[in-house]
Amino acid sequence: MIAEKIKTFKNTIPDTVTLVAVSKTKPASKILEAYNTGHLVFGENKVQEMESKWQELPKDIEWHMIGHVQRNKVKYIAPFVSLVHAVDSPRLLKEINKQAKKNERVIKCLLQIKIAEEDSKYGLSKEDAFALLASENYKNFEHVKIVGLMGMATFTDDKLQITSEFESLKKTFEEFKKEDPNIEILSMGMSGDYTIAIEKGSTMIRVGSAIFGERNY
């Protein structure tokens, strides 16, 4: 089942789009089913859960932290995380830089931009994100590299609203790219809205339930 889903995704999405298989709440055995098809990119949203799966599973897996990260937990993922999707403050970026330095690594990060209507969604305004990218502080951080933007659309059936939120993030992405040539990843699209996201220029989709089935919390 999972292997079939992974293969179908890979055959249908464009080559320019990376699939992050979101395995949160799912056991290591399910991740291995996907891994055994040759898929290496997995997303988790909880620090402890990602760390214990990293310990247990093959070391060539690329672990993406897609959820909000508390600063005091960065140290647990700094030794191995391959991309942090949801950087939403200068202080978090500073802590990632510090922990990456301790591990003699450069950690790639995305800035999370708030595009949804709901108040509950984390993320920076476009202006604050731009200020962070252009800041002296960031220029002095040698152990983090901002390589793109991430956003989550409003949870709604209104396709027009989702479309316009993704369009606005894509526009912001193009502006950021002009500012910094390292900006190349646009992480947008989940199980319910990835087709719209790809249409609107996503280069990375984060898909959980459409691969692994519904989550039981």
Q: Using CB under 6 A as the criterion, which residues of the chain lie in contact with ligand PLP when the complex forms?
A: 22, 24, 45, 66-67, 152, 190-192, 206-210
Minimum CB separation of residue 197 from ligand PLP in Å reads 11
Mark out the alpha helices in 57-156 (DSSP H runs): 74-77, 90-102, 126-134, 136-140
- Residue 115 or residue 141: which is nearer to ligand PLP going by CB? 115
68 vs 98 by CB, closer to ligand PLP: 68
The beta-strand segments (E) located in the chain are 18-22, 41-44, 62-65, 83-87, 107-112, 144-150, 185-187, 204-207
- Least separation in angstroms between CB 89 and ligand PLP: 17
In the bound complex, what is the minimum distance in angstroms from residue 47's beta carbon to ligand PLP?
A: 13
Q: Where are the beta strands (DSSP E) in 13-161?
A: 18-22, 41-44, 62-65, 83-87, 107-112, 144-150
Tokens of 92: 């978090």
**Rounded least distance, CB 134 to ligand PLP, Å:** 26
Q: Are 44 and 23 in contact (CB under 8 A)?
A: yes
Q: Which is nearer to ligand PLP, 107 or 141 (CB)?
A: 107
Minimal CB distance residue for ligand PLP? 208
